[in-house]
Structure 1
Amino acid sequence: MSHEYKSTPLFGGALVVDLPTNFADVSKLRQVPDNQEVYIDKDGFTSIIVDITERVGPAGGGLESDGRALTTHLEDLVGDDVEGLNVWNTAETEITHLEGIPAYTLIATQTPKSSKSGRQEDQDAARAAGPDFTALILTLIRLEKESTDILVTINVPHIKGEYDEDDVDLELGKQGKLIGNAVEYASRIWESFKVKDWGLFNEI
C-alpha cells in the first residue's frame, strides 16, 4: 500500500524530508529538545524522530568505526533495555541527495523485560500496559566535516490487538504490516532527505 507524503521542513527549514501526511508534529503538543524533530502517526503508535547529535568515534570513517558508532547510538536509544534487543539486519544506505556521505540502517526489535514478579496477574498487567515489542528502524548519517551524526529513528510499537501476530516473524523474514509501512517510510526518507542550510550543524 502506498502512502501519501508531504515535503516537511525540519529545524526551521534547514532540513527537508518527505514524511507521511498522517504524521503530526509532536512539538505542537509538547516540548521537544532543540536537537530533535518528532512526528507521530495520528492513526497509530508509530513515531519518526530526527535527531542531530555529536559525531561518535574518531575522525576518518570506515565500516568498522561507523559500525561501532551505530551500535553506540542504538545502545543510547534503548538505554537499560539492551537485554531484550535483537538486531535483525544492518546495511549501508544511500541517501540520494547526500552523495558520498556514509549512512547505515539497521532493523532491530526491543522486547520489554517481563515483570520481576512471578505472579501471573502482575505479568499480565505489565504486558497490558505496554507493547509486546517495539521495532526500530534506525538510519545513521555520518557528517564527518560537521562533526555530526544525524539519526532517523522510526519506532514501531506492536501492541496486542493492534497487529496480526501471525504476520510477524523476523527470523523468517516476515515483517508484518506495521514494520512494512515503516520500511516504506524509511526508504522515502532516504530518497527525499536534503540539507538546505549546513549552518544548522554549527548551532546545535
Structure 2
Amino acid sequence: MLSEREAVTASKQFLELSGRILHLSTGHLAHSSCLGQLGPTVSGLKGAFSRLLVSVLSVDVWIAFPELRMQSIEISGKYLFSGYFSGVLPHGYKDISEVRDIPDNQEVFVHPHTDQSIIIELLEYQEHVGDAVAAKYHFEDLASSNEASSSGNSEVISVEPILKEEISLQECSSAWFLTGRQLVAKFNEEVKNTVNIYLGLFRLPQYTTDIVISFNDPVVIHPLSSSATSETALDISTPSWTVEQFRLLLQTFRLLNSSVFG
C-alpha cells in the first residue's frame, strides 16, 4: 500500500501527464478539418476527461490534507488558465469569465452571496524589487488600482514567508503571504467599505513572472454602499469564505504545463 506521501506524488504525476494529454489531444483536433463533425464528440470527451481530472485533484487534496475530512470543509478542485495550472477553491464560487470578458492573465472568482472575491494574476516579474518587499509592492499596486493609495486608506498588517514544503508550486524561488486592509469604494460610489486583503505571492524569475493571488474580504460595509444588505436577506446556503480556505488555495496551487509562459 502506498504511503500518503507516495500517493500525493503519484496523483501529482498523473495530473501533470493528463494535463499535457488534454492539451495535445484538443490542440491537434482543433486544427482538424473534421472538427465540424467531431466537435460534439470531442467536447463531450474533453468534458468527461476534465471532470475525471478534477475528481482526482480533489482526492489528491483529501489525501494531502486529511484534516479537511474531519472538519467537513467543502472544496472544489479547479483547472486554471485553460489547464496550465490547478488549485482548490472555496466551495460555491462563481467564475466571472462565464459572464464577462476578463484579461487573459487573470482568473476571477466571486462568492455567490457576498462581495468576497479571489483573483489570480500572472504578472511581470519585478526584478528591481527584492523578495522580502515584493508582496508589499504588489499590495500597493493593488491599492493604486482601488484608488486607496492616499494616507489612511491602505495598511499592511503583516508579511510572512511561506515555506517551500508547505506549497505545491515548487518552481517558485520564494513565496509570501501578506495581510492588509484597504478602504475601497464599490464601482464609482463615494462611500468606502473596509476590505481585508490577503495576498499570496509566488516569484518565478526563470519565467519572468510574479503570480499574485488575492482574497478580498469586506468586513465593514458602509450603510450607503450598494453592498449594504440586511442580514435577513443573506443566503446562508454558501457560508462566507475563510482565510483558511484561501491558504488551502495557496498550498494546492500548482503549475501543470510551463508552456503557458511561452
Q: Same fold (TM over 0.5)?
A: yes
Looking at structure 2, the residues matched to 24 and 112 of structure 1 have their Cα atoms a distance apart, in angstroms, of 22
CA contact (8 A) 1:154 1:182 kept: no
Give per-residue Cα distances to partners, 1:56-79, cap 9 Å, x unaligned. 124xxxxx8113322221111111
Identity %: 27
Give per-residue Cα distances to partners, 1:97-144, cap 9 Å, x unaligned. 12363100111000248xxxxxxxxxxx843xx42x011001110011
SS where residue 206 of structure 2 aligns? coil
Q: Are residue 186 (structure 1) and residue 253 (structure 2) matched?
A: no
CA contact (8 A) 1:57 1:69 kept: no
Give per-residue Cα distances to partners, 1:148-179, cap 9 Å, x unaligned. 00000001123256699xxxxxxxxxxxx96x
Alignment of 1:9-20 (within 5 A): 9-20=79-90
CA 1:48 to 1:112, structure 2 compared with 1: closer, same or farther past 3 Å? closer
CA contact (8 A) 1:53 1:148 kept: yes
Q: Which amino acid aligns with 1:81?
A: A
Looking at structure 1, the residues matched to 131 and 258 of structure 2 have their Cα atoms a distance apart, in angstroms, of 22
Unaligned runs of 5+ in 2: 1-70, 223-227, 232-238
Give 1 or 2 for the bigger CA radius of gyration. 2
CA 1:81 to 1:163, structure 2 compared with 1: closer, same or farther past 3 Å? farther
Looking at structure 1, the residues matched to 230 and 121 of structure 2 have their Cα atoms a distance apart, in angstroms, of 28
Alignment of 1:29-178 (within 5 A): 29-58=99-128, 65-79=130-144, 80-82=147-149, 83=151, 84-94=153-163, 95-99=166-170, 101-112=173-184, 126-127=190-191, 130-131=192-193, 133-158=194-219, 159-160=221-222
Q: Are residue 195 (structure 1) and residue 259 (structure 2) matched?
A: no
CA contact (8 A) 1:50 1:151 kept: yes
TM-score (norm 1): 0.74
Give per-residue Cα distances to partners, 1:19-57, cap 9 Å, x unaligned. 012111001111111000000001211000000001012
CA 1:163 to 1:16, structure 2 compared with 1: closer, same or farther past 3 Å? farther
CA 1:53 to 1:135, structure 2 compared with 1: closer, same or farther past 3 Å? same
Q: Which amino acid aligns with 1:68?
A: V
Looking at structure 1, the residues matched to 247 and 109 of structure 2 have their Cα atoms a distance apart, in angstroms, of 16
Report the counterpart of residue 122 of structure 1 in structure 2: none
State the Cα distance separating 1:86 from its structure 2 match: 1.1
TM-score (norm 2): 0.58
Q: Which amino acid aligns with 2:109?
A: Y
Q: Which amino acid aligns with 1:149?
A: D
Unaligned runs of 5+ in 1: 59-63, 114-124, 165-176
Q: Which has the higher helix share?
A: 2
CA contact (8 A) 1:109 1:136 kept: yes
CA 1:2 to 1:134, structure 2 compared with 1: closer, same or farther past 3 Å? farther
Looking at structure 2, the residues matched to 41 and 86 of structure 1 have their Cα atoms a distance apart, in angstroms, of 24
Q: Which has the higher strand share?
A: 1
CA contact (8 A) 2:90 2:246 kept: no
| Count of aligned pairs between the two proteins | 169
Looking at structure 2, the residues matched to 183 and 162 of structure 1 have their Cα atoms a distance apart, in angstroms, of 22
State the Cα distance separating 1:186 from its structure 2 match: 2.0
